Amino acid sequence: MAIEKNAKSKGRNAAPRSEKLPAEPLHGSAICPVAKKCGGCQLQGISYKKQLEKKHQLVKECVGDMRVLPPIGMEHPLHYRNKVHAAFGRDRKGSVISGVYESGTHRIVPVEHCMIEDERADAIIATIRGLLRSFKIKTYDEDSGYGLLRHVMVRTAHATGEILVVLVLASPILPAKNNFVKALRAAHPEITSVVLNVNDRHTSMVLGERNILLYGKGYIEDELCGNRYRISPNSFYQVNAVQTKVLYEKAIEYANLTGKETVIDAYCGIGTIGMTAAAHAKQVIGVELNPHAVKDAIANAKRNACKNITFYNEDAGDYMRKLAAVPKEAREKVDVVFMDPPRSGSSETFLDAVALLSPERVVYISCDPHTLGRDLDALRKKGYRPKECQPVDMFPYTDDIENIVLLEKTGSREQKREGSAKKTVGRPEIERTGKRNESKRKSGDAQSGDRGYQKELRKVRAAAGSRRPQAAKPKSGKRTH
């Protein structure tokens, strides 16, 4: 998704990066004719600046008492989706249509052009609609079970320009498949691979388990933070090419790696976060339940000559509990855990495993502020203190927002160094944590010999009356879940 090598991590106290925001061509009424039926772009009709403000407030309400930085937005927040899925069917007149399911239903809303999808993908899907008529290929009917073509998925690589087309069929047999592919590539020579995916089950899942290669390699390759990745039809890969680089750079910065750490990349997918971290750590362990993703991850490590990363095809929580069960003297200490769970958030089993392994830092990447807030509450109870949250807008014009949260274990060496540094500063900054035990700890530090700190603490409290300073206090403590 990106070409440049990941820059060296900046200091934690560096000012938040400034992003240029676009002119407001979409300010005002919705410009998409199917916006209300589709429901995919919930924030149409709202300027992009207002969208970021709205998302910032949502995150603050969900994550509780911690510092939440302003979201990092896109300069050009259109046509960013590198994975486009279209359902195929027929309208009342019998004409072939393709598009998205109407919100909450399985009725297809015809879509010609989408403001957030890759334009090359939309053009390819339009061509396939025409080819179905020429080759007399029937679309699949969910009610009767009759027909052949169910979906088309197009994946595009931002850095390399490669394009993968996945034809999802109810049967492994595509009539005149060679001629069909030849006609498709004649219209779109930029296509580098075509795969037939077999989904013969009555299910709401788009892809089946079986892939049949029709043209090319069967996958595409893209670049991210200096590494090259293989992306297969079933692999998870972030949908926004530009913002993924921003997201991973911030995650590595929060991890504060020195080259001596053992890192676990939980829910690792095809290994993108883990391999980015591997350049800065002693060793990385990637854990992923999806076997297709693990296969790609292993191939990616070999392709990039990344020798200090190992992948396991297991449930992340189960793997970590097994690791924690090994006596401490017989296993290497885990220093940092990256976790990037699905939208539903992490499981109680996984969070228990984190507490058992007791890493000094946890970097939590989440695409749902509500489940993030729930999991942060659980981690607080298990001895982890959320320090900072950086939202990254991966999904402009939708309700969704990606977030990165740094958590540190209470009493970790990092926090002790911070406490020590505060004692040596003439006029320390007082930070609101919202925790009574944190207040007692700071008071205890002052009473243990630093009268200057105690005097400064009294001054700040007196200036604010009976309350702590409000500078770092979130505007709202309301929880939406």
Q: Where are the alpha helices (DSSP H) in 195-314?
A: 241-255, 272-278, 291-303
Q: Which residues pair with 172 in a beta bridge?
A: none
Q: CA 150, CA 140: separation in Å to the nearest integer?
A: 5
Dihedral angle sign, alpha carbons of residues 185, 190, 193, 199: negative
The size of the chain, in residues, is: 481
Q: CA 215, CA 178: separation in Å to the nearest integer?
A: 9
**Dmax over Cα atoms in the chain, in whole Å?**
86
Contacting residues for 329 by C-beta, under 8 A, at least 6 apart: none
Q: Where are the alpha helices (DSSP H) in 228-347?
A: 241-255, 272-278, 291-303, 316-325
Parallel/antiparallel/unpaired status of strands 336-339 and 361-366: parallel
Q: 159: exposed, middle or buried (C-beta count within 10 Å: 0-12, 13-18, 19+)?
A: middle
Q: CA 74, CA 348: separation in Å to the nearest integer?
A: 34
For residue 408, the Cα-to-chain-centroid distance in whole angstroms is 21
Contacting residues for 160 by C-beta, under 8 A, at least 6 apart: 220, 221, 222, 223
Q: 427: exposed, middle or buried (C-beta count within 10 Å: 0-12, 13-18, 19+)?
A: exposed
The residue among 3, 6, 461, 36 whose CA lies nearest residue 274 is: 6
For residue 210, the Cα-to-chain-centroid distance in whole angstroms is 26
Q: Kindly state the helix (H) or strand (E) to which residue 454 belongs, with its residue range.
A: helix 451-463
Q: 264: exposed, middle or buried (C-beta count within 10 Å: 0-12, 13-18, 19+)?
A: buried
Q: Which of the following is catalytic: 62, 268, 367, 389?
A: 367
> Any catalytic annotation for residue 367?
yes
The residue among 204, 121, 191, 131 whose CA lies nearest residue 163 is: 191
Instruction: Give me the phi and psi of 106, to 5 degrees please.
Output: -115, 25
H/E/C letters for each residue in 144-165?
Answer: CCCCCEEEEEEEECCCCCCEEE
Q: What is the DSSP letter of 65?
A: S
- CA 138, 139, 145, 151: dihedral to nearest 10 degrees? 140
Instruction: Give me the phi and psi of 259, to 5 degrees please.
Output: 100, 0
Q: CA 137, CA 131: separation in Å to the nearest integer?
A: 8
The residue among 241, 278, 267 whose CA lies nearest residue 365 is: 267
- Return the active site residues: 367
